[in-house]
């Protein structure tokens, strides 16, 4: 299933959106519900919340930024889904100050673990928010993709630093304070009580292809999306992906 409103930025989200939409369909069928209760922690201005709501689900977005939540309000109003999306201020560590435990059929934890002091605790909180059998969608920055990108840009010292740094940071100018390997993410997810269904490498090629090529070559975006989808589940490409996506279900 595809988001009918995908922009050019779909190169960055297509793989995640497609597998997430399918997982939500399976969960809805399994529960017999017309609409699921979905939590989007760190959901910002609604990049995923809006298309999820368009599928008929109820979405709670938790984000620490008032500006992001204000942008979310405008976006859901423009999209006509204001009755199915609500935003609350908070973060993954104080999650249960603003939402209840065990109240959601699906939890999206996208771009959150990179910025928290205790990623394992963040994963546990995301899982604790799920009902048994609920879907966890976890997206985080991949270590290998950053090392490769730094090296290809000629920043070899930064590439080496990212490779050897415990947090995967390449230096003071790095906007992403923490990165992960697929093994680190899957270990944290399993320890939190989730049965892993799939691991995907996201943006394996998209961040390496010159933008001018994608913008000017006829059919390039569709072809690159197909290539990304074909490579996403192959473990050989997880180690060079810019982001890693883990999809699973909370054990009963």
Q: For residue range 63-103, what is the model confidence (pLDDT) as tens digits?
A: 999 999 999 999 999 999 999 999 999 999 999 999 999 99
Kindly report whether the global pTM for this prediction surpasses the value 0.85. Answer: yes
The chain-wide mean pLDDT, for the chain, equals: 92
> Quick one: CA torsion of 126, 131, 132, 138, rounded to 10 degrees?
-30
Q: Is the pLDDT of residue 150 over 90?
A: yes
Lowest-confidence range among 48-57, 128-137, 218-227? Answer: 218-227
Least confident of 129-138, 144-153, 208-217: 208-217
How far is 56 from 109, CA to CA, in rounded Å? 20
Cβ-contact 1, 26 below 8 angstroms: no
Q: Identify the burial level of 197 via C-beta atoms within 10 angstroms of its C-beta, where 0-12 means exposed, 13-18 middle and 19 or more buried.
A: middle
Phi-psi region of 46 (alpha: psi -120 to 50; beta: other; left: phi over 0): left
The whole-number pLDDT of residue 19 equals 93
Which residues have a Cβ under 8 Å from the Cβ of 82 and sit 6 or more positions away?
A: 73, 76
The pLDDT, as a whole number, for residue 225 is 86
Is 4 within 8 Å of 17 (Cβ atoms)?
no
Q: Which two tokens stand for residue 197?
A: 């269904």
pLDDT digits (tens, 9 = 90+) for 94-128: 999 999 999 999 999 999 999 999 999 999 999 99
Tokens of 133: 């059998």
């Amino acid at each position: 299933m595809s988001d009918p409103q995908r922009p050019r930025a779909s190169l960055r989200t297509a793989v995640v959106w497609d597998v997430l939409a399918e997982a939500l369909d399976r969960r809805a069928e399994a529960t017999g519900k017309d609409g699921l209760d979905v939590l989007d922690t760190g959901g910002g201005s609604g990049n995923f919340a809006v298309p999820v709501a368009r599928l008929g689900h109820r979405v709670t977005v938790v984000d620490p930024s008032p500006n992001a939540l204000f942008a979310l309000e405008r976006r859901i109003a423009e999209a006509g889904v204001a009755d199915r999306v609500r935003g609350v201020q908070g973060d993954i560590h104080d999650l249960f100050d603003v939402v209840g435990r065990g109240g959601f059929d699906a939890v999206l934890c996208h771009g959150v673990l990179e910025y928290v002091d205790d990623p394992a605790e963040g994963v546990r909180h995301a899982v604790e928010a799920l009902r048994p059998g609920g879907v966890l969608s976890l997206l985080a920055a991949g270590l290998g993709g950053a090392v490769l990108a730094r090296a290809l840009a000629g920043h070899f010292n930064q590439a080496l630093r990212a490779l050897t740094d415990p947090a995967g940071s390449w230096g003071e100018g790095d906007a992403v304070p923490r990165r992960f390997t697929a093994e680190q993410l899957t270990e944290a997810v399993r320890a939190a009580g989730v049965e892993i269904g799939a691991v995907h490498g996201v943006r394996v090629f998209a961040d390496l292809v010159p933008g001018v090529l994608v913008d000017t070559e006829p059919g390039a975006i569709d072809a690159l999306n197909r290539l990304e989808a074909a490579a996403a589940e192959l473990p050989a490409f997880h180690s060079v992906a810019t982001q890693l996506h883990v999809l699973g279900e909370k054990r009963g």
